[in-house]
Amino acid sequence: MNILQQIAASTAQRVVRDKAAGLPARTHPPRTPFLFETNLRTPGVSFICEVKKASPSKGVIAEEFPYLEIARAYERGGADAISVLTEPDYFQGCARYLAEIRAAVASPLLRKDFIIDPFQIEEAAALGADAVLLICAILTPAQLKEYHALADKLGLSCLVEAHDEAEVKTALAAGARIIGVNNRDLKTFTVDTSNSIRLRKLVASDILFVAESGVRTAQDVALLRAHNISAVLVGETLMRAPDQAAMLSSLRGEAQ
């Protein structure tokens, strides 16, 4: 069982508990439908900036975790969207973080979690998310289509994550409008941004294409932009920076 399968199994237990508690009360007005993907269609490389305390590959990234301040710094720095980890066991995330960040910023929010049940998509909408992550490796093609359709009905965008050619084809068959390629090998945890560049060629130019993991410098962003990458999802590089807004500005330097 690889790490992704372990997280999915843990998530299944969490969903049972969350279903028993019921959907959280919605405390915000309805958002503009599909705002996440609208923002990613702006000229140049768009930035999805991640609020993340820990990860299985790196352990605790941010001992101090002022998540509201971090989200506000991303917004000041010009983030096109903000990704919020809500998975508790491996990433030390929390659904509450998403709801509180929703109240603190206007930027579109991606619920970064391991969606294995329609309940989690409805929960994301109630918490104030504008988008959800759907991971091809833990969903059947039928589930992927079903969950994408439910998100569409709720006005949520889907970032459909793939790791290889077969999963990109599965994402396209499900009607994905945004495909994210994870550059991290889930077996070795090594990162290779050329994975995004290689798989971009399989996807029509009108489909948003996001490179996930491995972006550390403005030169990395410029290289991805040269290969028609629509957006980058940046986590660790920003989370380790003493000034997230300044680091984001630095990364954007050669991207536009």
Q: How many CA atoms lie within 13 A of 165 on its CB side?
A: 3
Place of tokens 């995004």: 196
For residue 132, list its beta bridge partners. 111, 158
Query: 224 near 197, Cβ under 8 Å?
Result: yes
Backbone angles phi, psi at 82, to 5 degrees: -125, 130
- Look at strands 157-162 and 131-135 and give their pairing: parallel
Which positions are annotated as active-site residues? 50, 52, 112, 161, 182, 212-213
Residues in the chain: 256
> Which pair of tokens denotes residue 216?
């550390």
Q: Report residue 61 as tokens.
A: 């990234």
Chain CA centroid to CA 237, Å: 15
Query: Rounded to the nearest 5 degrees, what angle is found at the Cα of 50, between the Cα atoms of 256 and 217?
Result: 45
